[in-house]
Structure 1
Amino acid sequence: MLEVNFSPFPTLVTERLVLREMTMNDADEAFFLRSDAEVIKYVDRAPAQSIDEAKAFIQMVDDNRQNNTGISWTITLKGDDKMIGNVALWRLDKANYRAEIGYVLHPEHQGKGIMLEATQAILHYGFYELQLHSVEANINPGNMASQRLLERAGFVKEALFKENYYYDGKFLDSVIYSLLTPKK
C-alpha cells in the first residue's frame, strides 16, 4: 500500500512558479477563485458565498495534508507570493497507488502555459516522490481548455460517463482522463 507523508510541506519551484502551501493569508484569493463565475464555470458546484467558506476550504486542504489524504499547492509567480491558482493531488487511493488531479487558475493568468507548468511539476512529484502509478482527472465535457491541458500533459481520455453526476437540479456527464507513470 502507498505510504505518503506531506510533512514538511513539499514546496515545488519551476522556471516561473513557486508552488507552496496554502495558508489563511490566501483567503481573499481563494474566495475569488471559488466564487468567480468564469473560474468555476465547469467546476459544477455552487460558488462560495463568503470569505468564511474560503477559510473553511483552506482548513479542509490543510486537514487533508495533515491526514495524508491529499495535497494542494498554491500557485504563485516567482517573486510574487500572491495566490493565482491552485493545483492538487487529492482523493488518494493508496491501495491502488492512484490520485486525482484538480486545478484552478485566475483568468488573468490563463492561456500562458502556467497551469501546464504547475501540472507537470506536481505530476513529477506524484510519480517520482510519492510513487503513484496513475493520476486521474474528472472533468466536465464542455471544458475544452482543461481537455487540451490534460492532453498536452500526456493524459489519455479513458471514458465518458453519461449523467453520472447530479448538480443544480440536473444530471451531468463526466469525462475521465488518466496518466500512468512514465516509462523510464
Structure 2
Amino acid sequence: MLSPNFNPFPVLVTERLILRRFTRDDAADLFEMRSNETVMQYIHRPINKTIDDAISLIDVIEDLLGKNDGITWCICLKNNNKYIGSIGFWRIEKDSHRAEIGYLLNPVYQGQGLMQEAITAAIDYGFNVMKLHSIGAYVSPANFASIKLLLKNNFVQEAYFKEDHLYNGRFEDTMVYSLLTQT
C-alpha cells in the first residue's frame, strides 16, 4: 500500500520555478485567480466570492497535506515569491498507487512553457518519491491547452464520459487521461 509522507514539505525547483507550500500570504493572489470566470471556466469548483473563500481553500490544501491525502504546490517564479499558479496530486488511491493531478496557471504566464516545467517536476515527484504507478487527469473536452499539455507528457486518453456530472445546471462531459510509471 502506498504511504505518502509530505512532511517535511517537498519544495521542487525547476529552471525558472519554485514549487513551494501555500501560505495565507498567498490568499489575495489565489483569490484573484479563483474569482476570474475565464480562469475558472474548466475548473468545476465554485468561483471565489471573497478572500475568505481563498483562505478556506488554503486551509483545505493544508488539511489534505496534514493527512498525507494530497499535496498542492504554489507555483512561483524563481525571482519572485508571488503565486502564479498551482499544481498537485489528490484523490490518492493508496491501494492502487494512483493519484489525480490538477493544475492552474495565471493567464499572464501561459504560453511560456512554465506549466511544462511544473508538470515535469510534479510527475517526477509522483513516480520517484511518492512511488505512484499511475497519474490520472480529468479534463473538459473543451480545455484544449490542458489536453495538449497532457499529450506532450505522454498521457493517454483512457475514457470519455458523456454528461457524467452536473455543474451549474448543465451536464458536462469529462475526458480521462492517464500516465503510467516507466518501470
Q: Shorter-chain TM-score: which interval?
A: over 0.9
CA distance in 2, matches of 1:39, 1:182: 33
In the alignment, structure 1 residue 170 sits paired with structure 2 residue 170? yes
How far off is 1:42 after superposition? Answer: 1.1
Per-residue CA deviation, residues 74-123 of structure 1 (Å, 9 max, x unaligned), is: 00001100000000111100010000000000010001111111001010
CA distance in 2, matches of 1:179, 1:2: 17
How far off is 1:45 after superposition? Answer: 2.7
In the alignment, structure 1 residue 11 sits paired with structure 2 residue 11? yes
Alignment RMSD: 0.7
* Runs of at least 5 residues in structure 2 that lack an aligned partner in the other structure: none
How far off is 1:44 after superposition? Answer: 2.4
Partner AA of 2:21 in structure 1: E
How far off is 1:170 after superposition? Answer: 1.4
Partner AA of 1:146 in structure 2: S
How far off is 1:127 after superposition? Answer: 0.1
How far off is 1:46 after superposition? Answer: 2.5
Look up the SS of the partner of 2:83 in the other structure. Answer: strand
The match for 2:59 is 59
Look up the SS of the partner of 1:173 in the other structure. Answer: strand
TM-score (normalised: structure 2): 0.98
Of stretches 60-69 and 35-44 in structure 1, the one that deviates more from structure 2 is 35-44
In the alignment, structure 1 residue 96 sits paired with structure 2 residue 96? yes
* Runs of at least 5 residues in structure 1 that lack an aligned partner in the other structure: none
CA distance in 1, matches of 2:91, 2:179: 15
User: After superposition, where does 1:1-184 map in structure 2 within 5 Å?
Assistant: 1-183=1-183
Per-residue CA deviation, residues 101-148 of structure 1 (Å, 9 max, x unaligned), is: 000000100011111110010100000001000000001110000000
CA distance in 1, matches of 2:74, 2:113: 16
How far off is 1:154 after superposition? Answer: 1.2
Look up the SS of the partner of 2:132 in the other structure. Answer: coil
CA distance in 1, matches of 2:7, 2:45: 30
Partner AA of 1:158 in structure 2: E
TM-score (normalised: structure 1): 0.98
How far off is 1:65 after superposition? Answer: 0.3
